[in-house]
Amino acid sequence: MTTATSQQVVTFRVGEEHFAADILTVERVLRQVAPTPVPNLPDWMEGVIEYESHVVPVIDLRRRFGLDEAGRPTAGVRIIVFRAGDEWVGALVDAVLEVVNIDGAQLSPPPSLLRGLNAEYVRGLLHRDGRMIILLEMARLLTATEHLELQRASLGGASSDG
């Protein structure tokens, strides 16, 4: 991707923070449904949902990003189903805001203060309407080890009855 490349992103809010993801990674936005709990998942995992005959793990982005859980809304909460490589992952967000066009020139690289795991899933920063929006790399939201753990847990917690 060059800096002149235009793309569409979906913006969403988690807590007071604004985030975005490439629209090409978004499969669907769902009203909040209660995920089925699966034993032995990390605390930032809500569980799994069934979507299009697939078992989809759901990440609570507030917990994943270490944001304050106080003031979590009861209305407007959505699950965004993302493509993460060959898999789907659901992300629990407080609100889906809008789809916007951006070009690479509007995107700043993540600051050098972001190191480690956080830097892996932050693609860049976007300044829009006086707000900073963090553009996420959804395919990297889970590490390879976490993908394997989720697959094992989902297979163990999902019923194959049909």
CATH number for the domain spanning 34: value is: 2.40.50.180
Rounded to two decimals, the pTM is 0.82
Q: Above 80 in pLDDT, residue 94?
A: yes
Structural tokens at position 78: 């959505």
Question: How many domains are there within the chain?
Answer: 1
State the DSSP H helix or E strand holding residue 47, giving kind and residue range, or none if neither. Answer: strand 45-51
Q: Is residue 23 part of a domain?
A: yes
pLDDT at 162: 40
Q: Is residue 162 part of a domain?
A: no
What whole-number distance in Å separates Cα of residue 65 and Cα of residue 34? Answer: 20
What whole-number distance in Å separates Cα of residue 127 and Cα of residue 104? Answer: 12
State the DSSP H helix or E strand holding residue 45, giving kind and residue range, or none if neither. Answer: strand 45-51
CB 97 within 8 A of CB 12: yes
Instruction: Note down the domain range covering 28.
Output: 6-157
Q: 26-67, pLDDT tens digit by residue? A: 999 999 889 999 888 888 889 999 999 988 999 999 888 888
Mean pLDDT (the chain) is 82
Q: Is residue 78 part of a domain?
A: yes
pLDDT at 159: 45
Q: Is residue 1 part of a domain?
A: no
